[in-house]
Structure 1
Amino acid sequence: MSSTATRAAARAANHPWLERLARAGFVGYGAVHLLFAWVIVRIAFGSPPADGDQSGALHTLAGKPLGAFVIGLIVVGLVAMTVWQGFEAAIGHRDERGRHRVYERVASAGRAAFYAYVAWTGVKVLRGKSKSSADTQEQASQDLMVSSGGRLTVALAGVAVAAIGAGLAIYGVTRKFEKHLRTGRMTTPARVTCRRLGITGYAAKGAAYAVAGILLVLAAVQYDPDKARGLDAALRAMATQPYGTWLLTLTALGIAAYGLFSIVQARYRKV
């Protein structure tokens, strides 16, 4: 980017309203994960919704009083988070030594893409689209697997998703998330609680994505599109295990911890 464009982007990235909306977005993002945790609990105890993923959580919210209004607010916040992380990817964020790190910019681009995906899922729910993201993933995988090299593409996608899941778990266990928080403004109990929520939440989310990625690989190897339904398939696969109820309950608690961690970020995240 030119120096003029960079300065303009930096001013936009530091605009107070973008920061306020991004912080509100963290609250909405956390709420989506808390709803997702409830969806997992329903799967664990034999009353699963049609969609066991983020779209299922949003569909659940849409059916409640003022649900559409709340989803609208969540979408606005997620769009702000997408813009914020897009700026971070474009102009970079300096570390404590004043250096721009390439991997941080790549990570910001990935976050921007994911926030945009969840926001678009919310828009589809508001528009009354009943087809879930799990259905979309299954159909896309099925279409790919009948094309030349499609099964290899699905398998590689599964490897990538599993790697992302492992990365999320490692990111949480090693407490890398703390470098993005204003820990100096936290009291000691708040810092300890936030750390525990972050470790637990990232580990649970990472494990769920890792299972989803493995199932994508199996879908390609066995030519079974039913396994290519992302988190929905991963959670339902857990439910069939001997200790599936307990495994899913622990996963739900972990996802809920991530939701609470996201809400904490609304106050302490460096934006």
Structure 2
Amino acid sequence: MGDSAADKLRRRAGRIQDGLEPVADAAEEVSNTRALDAVARFGYAITALLHLLIGIVAIRLALGGSGEADTAGAIETLAQGTPGRIAVWAGFIGCMGLALWQLSEATVRSRSLPRRTRLSKGFTSGALSIVYTVLALTFANFAVGPGSDASGATIHFSAMALNFPSGTFLLSGVGVAVAGVGVYFVIKGVLRKFRPELTFLDSVRGSIIDALGVLGHVAKGIALILVGVLFGVAAIQHNPGRPTGLDASLKALLEQPTGQYVLGVIGIGFICHGIFGIVRAKYGRM
């Protein structure tokens, strides 16, 4: 009796998998090098620095000052002068290295894990790889030119989304997704799910870092929830000109009676997240 079409497809898939196995082994060997780990740690340090700068601007806004409390504003601060251009290119390298490291976590490094863990790792690390790639390209944008305004970019995105026939649902979905990431950060902070990332949380020093991790993750989560809410408001009002980025979300707090105090706490939280990130870059598990 001849083999069925399904059997032939399975054998063909098996041969393809066997052929790709040496490639995957080689990729895993490259991903396990100290060089990639070192660049990824540098990428963590760069993102930590951005959190520190955003937190400083948020506190400045709460005290009546000015500034752009978002990633583009933080990178623009770094990009001042010739030393700044060098720093921005270094940021690009670090974030691209971190993106590649996360990609390896999502693929070749997770091959031996149980299926459920492998799928979860593939989703989370894969998403982070995309995030850090976008961040690296933002650094590159500032390195080769004047950069871009983040609030203007989000307005453009909102307008483009609302031009689609189902744009309201699309933009609402983006808002829900961003707010969902914010909820994840809040839960991660409150339940201290960041602890496996570090190695010395059983010491006095670890207790301080533990507190920084809680406040930093919760503050970042709240900020992302606010961004998601603004996306939702823009969708419901069908207002493509409404700013929907992080800077607009934080500045919207100033319109509330006690918003400046909330904004100040969020700013402190971002600074705590930045300090936590620096410690993560130095001592975190890779």
Task: Name the residue aligned to 1:179.
Answer: 196
Q: Distance in 2 between matches of 1:65 and 1:42?
A: 26
Question: Partner residue of 1:32?
Answer: 50
Match in the other structure for 1:269: 284
2:84 to 58, 61, 67: 67
Contact 1:44 1:239 in 2 (8 A): yes
- Whether 1:41 and 2:56 are equivalent positions in the alignment is no
- Supply the distance in 1 between the matched residues of 2:59 and 2:145 (Cα, whole angstroms): 25
Matched position secondary structure for 2:165: coil
Instruction: Give how far 1:143 is off.
Output: 2.0
Paired with 1:228 and 1:162, the residues of 2 have a C-alpha distance of 16
Which letter does structure 2 place at the counterpart of 1:116?
A: T
Q: Please, which runs of 5 or more residues in structure 1 have no aligned partner?
A: none
Structure 2 unaligned residues grouped into runs of 5+: 1-16
Amino acid paired to 2:169:
L
Contact 1:226 1:233 in 2 (8 A): no
Which moves more between the two structures, 226-235 or 114-123?
226-235
1:130 Cα offset (Å): 4.0
2:284 partner letter:
R
* C-alpha displacement of 1:269: 1.6
State the alpha-carbon separation in 2 of the partners of residues 251 and 65 from structure 1: 32
Counterpart selection for 2:72 from 35, 55, 75: 55
Are the structure 2 counterparts of residues 39 and 226 from structure 1 closer, same or farther at C-alpha, using a change threshold of 3 Å? farther
> 1:70: how far off?
1.6
The answer for the alignment partner of 2:21 in structure 1 is 3
Aligned counterpart for 1:191 among listed residues 199, 206, 209: 206
Matches within 5 A, 1:113-152: 113-152=130-169
Aligned residues: 266
Q: How much has 1:229 moved relative to structure 2? A: 2.3
Q: Does 1:241 align with 2:259?
A: no
Q: 1:41 to 1:64 in 2, by over 3 A?
A: farther
3-state DSSP of counterpart to 2:146: coil
Q: 2: CA distance between counterparts of 1:181 and 1:69?
A: 30
Match of 1:206 in 2: 221
Q: In 1, distance between residues paired with 2:27 and 2:220?
A: 32
TM-score normalised by structure 2 residue count: 0.87
Q: Percent identity?
A: 29
**Secondary structure in structure 1 of the residue aligned to 2:107:** helix
**Aligned equivalents of 2:164, 2:114: Cα separation in 1:** 45
1:65 positional shift: 6.5
- Higher Cα radius of gyration: 2
Query: Which residue does the alignment assign to 2:266?
Result: 251
Task: Assess, with a 3 A threshold, how the Cα gap between structure 1 residues 249 and 65 changes in structure 2: closer, same or farther.
Answer: farther
Spell out, residue by residue over 1:216-246, the C-alpha distance to the aligned partner (whole angstroms, 9 max, x if none). 0110001223444221221111121111221
Aligned to 1:223: 238
SS across alignment from 1:131: coil
Deviation at 1:30, TM superposition (A): 0.9
Quote how far apart the aligned CAs of 1:142 are.
0.8
* Cα distance change of structure 1 residues 239 and 94 upon mapping to structure 2, 3 Å threshold: farther
Residue by residue over 1:80-122, the C-alpha shift from the partner in whole angstroms, topping out at 9 and shown as x without a partner, is 1000001111124489xx6461212211011111111111111
